[in-house]
Amino acid sequence: MIATLIENARIVDPEAGSVTEGHVLIEKGVITEITAESGEGLRARAAPENRIDANGKVLAPGIVDIGVKVCEPGERHKESYKTAGAAAAAGGVTTMVTRPDTDPAVDTPEALEFIRRRAREVAPVRVLPMAALTKGRAGEEMTEIGFLLDAGAVAFTDCDRPVRDTKVLGRAMTYAKALGALIIGHPQEPGLSAGAAATSGKFASLRGLPAVSPMAERMGLDRDIAMVEMTGARYHADQITAMRALPALERAKNNGFDVTAGTSIHHLTLNELDVSDYRTFFKVKPPLRAEEDRQAVIEAVRSGLIDVISSMHTPQDEESKRLPFEEAASGAVGLETLLPVLLRLYHSGDLDLPTLFRALSLNPSKRLGLESGRMAKGAPADLVVLDPDQPFILDRFKLLSKSKNTPFDNARLQGRVLATFVGGKAVYRA
């Protein structure tokens, strides 16, 4: 592969927690040189057509997005690997970690192989599939974890269906522990959260919406942490959104359990009042929380208590969203909006760029045992160039995803992806 030089960039290093001006040389798909000195010595190693002048724009590790739903097999009209891959590249996402909540669920090596083959054929970014923890995500019988690991599964989850039977969960976690497999849980007490469309409180009562207490998240997390203590399994909570859940997470980490946690862009940047007059594009799972919860989750990301930020990309067609709020499907697309929406927190002074990319790139890579997410010699050249200051108004119909269900339609945003590289190859140019 011909060498590529990215010059005059503001380089974000999430490991060092720094932003420095410099130049990056890419050869054979990896970063081979990073220098803050004059780039003259590196310019001779890259042909003129392979020199990219960043003009002071930001260069950062590509995003590793845990929890992307691609609707193949079963609901390809909502999202395909081709459209999801294009949306990911346009959003600076270089690795999609896909969910198994498809129709049918990804619970066999054959289904996993189908996904890997489809992704290789049409997706311009890396795709790492997760597999179901129980067959059919029904919570009754665990999947063949060993065979699925051999077939390429990077983690095991039943997504938004917590396993109700603790004996089944215990067996699965014990088996996963023996194989070193990662379990991803959705911390919700399933009885309390069943049928909920909003977070309990004055707003939900005034709107007459079926609601759930944030304590359901705390109870679900407590149960899962107890199971981790019993089995010693590796565990990641997909979304921590409630202030009440944070002390339990902190205790688990202080006790040395192999536990990490994530949150979503929606719970970091929106609150329950955004639902306003039953706007179903704001219906997500878990439901949007109170403003004090949002602020607490931001602080948890800043301190490192919450490790990962993800888009929780969940495509839904118009027919499933254009319904009364209670009946409408949950979820929002987020591959393309992830970075510009999160930059709201950068511009407000809540999170700096190294902290953002620690949660978007470095920590998810570490959790999955990947080499990506670092700005260092020898690291894969999975990179994103962005202008954090470029303003625009989001038009959902210009999104590359097949489904257009975003809560940020017509929102004024600041920050755009200019280029995305996967293995040193440009897969997106604005």
Q: 372 and 62 in contact (C-beta within 8 Å)?
A: yes
Q: 271 and 214 in contact (C-beta within 8 Å)?
A: no
Compute the distance between CA of residue 204 and CA of residue 188 in angstroms, rounded to an integer.
19
| pLDDT under 50: residue ranges of the chain | none
* pLDDT for residue 39: 67
* pLDDT for residue 1: 54
Is pTM beyond 0.85? Reply is yes
In 3-state terms, the chain is what percent helix, strand and coil (to 5)? Answer: 35, 25, 40
Four-CA torsion 276, 280, 285, 290, nearest 10 degrees: 0
Comparing CA positions, the residue from 304, 180, 186, 185 lying closest to residue 253 is 304
Q: What is the pLDDT of residues 153-210, one digit of tens each?
A: 999 999 999 999 999 999 999 999 999 999 999 999 999 999 999 999 998 998 899 9
Q: What is the DSSP letter of 62?
A: P
Compute the distance between CA of residue 357 and CA of residue 309 in angstroms, rounded to an integer.
9
Compute the distance between CA of residue 177 and CA of residue 112 in angstroms, rounded to an integer.
21
Q: What is the DSSP letter of 86?
A: H
> Torsions phi, psi of 127, nearest 5?
-130, 120
Would you mind telling me the total number of residues written for the chain in this entry? 430
Measured CA distances, 172 to 60, 133, 164, 393, 415 (Å): 37, 7, 13, 46, 42
* pLDDT for residue 240: 98
* pLDDT for residue 335: 98
Compute the distance between CA of residue 299 and CA of residue 297 in angstroms, rounded to an integer.
5
Counting residues of the chain whose pLDDT is more than 90, the rounded percentage is 93
- In whole numbers, what is the pLDDT of the chain averaged over residues? 95
Tokens of 281: 């594009």
* pLDDT for residue 41: 77
